[in-house]
Amino acid sequence: MKTVFDRPKSLKPAPFRYCPGCGHSLIHRLIAESIDALGIRERVMGIAPVGCAVFAYDYFNFDILEVAHGRPPAAATAMKRVLQDRIIFSYQGDGDLAAIGTGEIVHAAARGENITVFFVNNATYGMTGGQMAPTTLLGQRTTTTPMGREAVHAGYPLRVSEMLATIDGASLIARTSVDSTKNLLKTRMLIEKAFRYQMDGKGFSLVEILSPCPTDWGLSPEDSMKWIQSDMMSVYKLGILKDKFSEEG
């Protein structure tokens, strides 16, 4: 009998090497479970850029393409247009998608490309030492903002999902989190919905996922989850920001 502890077929039998308390392992499993539930593993192709996401090929049990920093939406566009029967997704961090890749994600959404994007927001550059990212909160300490981010010098946090929700070509834009069991279940539901939208030819979907980075935040795994709830969620509010095909319109 299958249990919640069984490894999804879409994950390789390899232990995660992410830092203790990192959200990537949780998100990897939710994506893998969704792919198994939809029965699409033989059709799926993932794209990962520079950053902690670069390790995706070690864990997902299907084809993963590694691309240059910020360029997954461009690669996904080409792959989907050439291989229209495949299910193409990109897996990107905030340092990748919201910084060097901002132009790529905006125009992929504007074109309404029939791809799925999973956007992991941990408010920092995780792999390269915890520098300030576009999503870093005001007052948040990083290695490049040791006294806390100040708007006068570094600008304000970039709310990517709110920005993309204004674009006509975007079909589904949602923000969720992995801070609790309730939100893990919601995240799994939204991941599966985003894949279904691509399968049904409904166009561009992006799911933003608030995720902990205990190492760079200087917090314990438990306190990192609490910080998401107390600080991140007040800036990055959870919910579906746009759904062209919802019953509510």
Q: Which domains does the chain have, with CATH numbers?
A: 24-242 (3.40.50.970)
Judge contact between 94 and 63, C-beta under 8 A: no
With cut-offs at 50, 70 and 90, classify the pLDDT of residue 246: confident
Residue 1 has pLDDT above 60, yes or no: no
Sign (positive or negative) of CA dihedral 129, 134, 140, 146: positive
**What is residue 55's predicted lDDT score, i.e. its pLDDT?**
87
pTM for the full predicted model? 0.95
Question: What amino acid occupies position 111?
Answer: R
Q: Which residues of 2-18 are buried (b: 16+ CB within 10 A; e: fewer)?
A: eeeeeebebbeeeeeeb
Judge contact between 113 and 104, C-beta under 8 A: no
Among 4-13, 151-160, 163-172, the minimum mean pLDDT is found in 4-13
**What is residue 190's predicted lDDT score, i.e. its pLDDT?**
98
**What is residue 249's predicted lDDT score, i.e. its pLDDT?**
45
